[in-house]
Each structure stands twice: as C-alpha cells, then as structure tokens.
C-alpha cells in the first residue's frame, strides 16, 4: 500500500468509515500478528492482542494523524500490549519459563546499535552471577553451542561435571531472569518490534 492510499484510508477512518478500517486491518493484521506471535509464542494470545490493537485504533479513530505512519502507530500499540501482557502474567511459572526461553535466544540474536549494547551488558551481568568455572562451561555449552562431551574433553573434566555445572548455572540464570524481568522484557520486545 503506498503512502497516498494509506493517508486516504486514515482520513476516512478518522471520519468513522468502516470500510477504511477493514482495509487497513486486512493490510496490516497479518504482519502485526507475526510480530506478536514471535514474541508471545501463543496463537490465541497473539490473536487477542491484534484484536485489541485494532479495537484501540477504532476507539481512537478521531485522533488519527494521517501524516504519521499507521504501521508505526499500531506496532507501538502492540508492543505496549505485549509488555502489559507479560507484566500481568509475570508471577506465573509457565510465563517465567517462556521468558527464560526467550532470554536464551539473546545469546545468538544479532542487532545493531543500542539494543546490541544493552543485550551484551545484560548477558554479561547474568554470566557474572556464575563462578568462573561455571561461566566458562556455560559459555562453551550455550553460547558456543558445544556438546557436553566436547566441553568435557576441552576442559579435561567428566561429562557429569559439565552436566552438574550446567544445572547449577541454569538455576542461577533463571534467578537472574526473575530478578531482572522488566529489563529483559523491554529488550526482547524492542528486539522483536524494531
């Protein structure tokens, strides 16, 4: 959709035109759903968030500025809704596990600029909660993605020592994720939406 067509639809929508609303919905809902789903990993929740975003668009249609990007606006609403969803459910064990799984992805995500620096600093702080030996084993297993056998051979220790160190390290990292929930959430959501 070109800028002129989008502007016309936004102007019509701001005047209450339902056809314009549905045209914008059809054009953007799939991309919005994909971004939300990548973050929350739950189809039903993703659909609910997308529906909520477009409900807010309809409710705030009189305030639409056709000179601003509609896509940026709805993605910002969605980002805020995802953050709210995670905060609301932060105390649930399943959600904490979900956030931990996303935190693990930070090891391999590549992003330029400020997010990369924040991501690296956060990972370093998490790793610094481990002893030097556990940190070394954790980096080899998780970040360098070496097998327990490879790590055991490289460090001249047993596979069970590697396994035990990883169990303890994962416990410390999980606690770190729990203690720094909001900070991790903002980095992850920003990564997925921008």
Q: Which domains does the chain possess? A: 3-88 (1.10.1740.10), 93-193 (1.10.10.10)
Residue 112, SS3 per DSSP? coil
Per-residue confidence (pLDDT) for residue 33, from 0 to 100: 95
Q: Does the pLDDT of residue 193 top 90, yes or no? A: no
Mean pLDDT of 24-52: 92
Mean pLDDT of the residues in the chain: 83
Res. 100 pLDDT band, cuts 50 70 90 = low
Is pTM, for the whole model, over 0.85? Answer: no
pLDDT for 95 beyond 90: no
Q: Is the model's pLDDT at 126 over the cut of 80? A: yes
User: pLDDT at position 105, please?
Assistant: 60
Count of C-beta atoms within a 10 Å radius of residue 124: 9
Considering only residues 101 and 82, tell me which one the structure prediction assigns the higher pLDDT: 82
Question: Is residue 113 scored above 70 in pLDDT?
Answer: no
Cα dihedral 13, 15, 19, 22 in deg (nearest 10): 30
- Is the predicted pLDDT of residue 110 greater than 80, yes or no? no
Cα distance between residue 154 and residue 54, in whole Å: 54
Which pLDDT value is given to residue 101?
65
């Amino acid at each position: 959709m070109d800028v002129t067509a989008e502007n016309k639809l936004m102007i019509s929508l701001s005047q209450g035109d339902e056809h314009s609303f549905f045209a914008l919905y059809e054009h953007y809902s799939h991309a919005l759903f994909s971004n939300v789903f990548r973050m929350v990993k739950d189809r039903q929740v993703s659909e609910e968030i997308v529906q909520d975003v477009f409900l807010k668009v309809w409710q705030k249609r009189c305030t639409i500025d056709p000179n601003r990007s509609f896509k940026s606006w709805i993605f910002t609403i969605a980002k805020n809704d995802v953050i709210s969803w995670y905060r609301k459910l932060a105390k649930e064990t399943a959600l904490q596990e979900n956030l931990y799984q996303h935190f693990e992805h930070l090891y391999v995500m590549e992003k330029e600029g400020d997010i990369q620096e924040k991501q690296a600093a956060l990972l370093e702080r998490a790793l610094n909660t481990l002893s030097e030996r556990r940190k070394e084993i954790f980096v080899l297993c998780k970040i360098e993605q070496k097998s327990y056998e490879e790590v055991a051979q490289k460090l001249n220790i047993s596979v069970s020592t590697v396994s035990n160190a990883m169990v303890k390290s994962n416990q410390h990292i999980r606690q770190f994720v729990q203690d720094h929930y909001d900070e991790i959430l903002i980095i992850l959501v920003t990564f997925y939406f921008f």
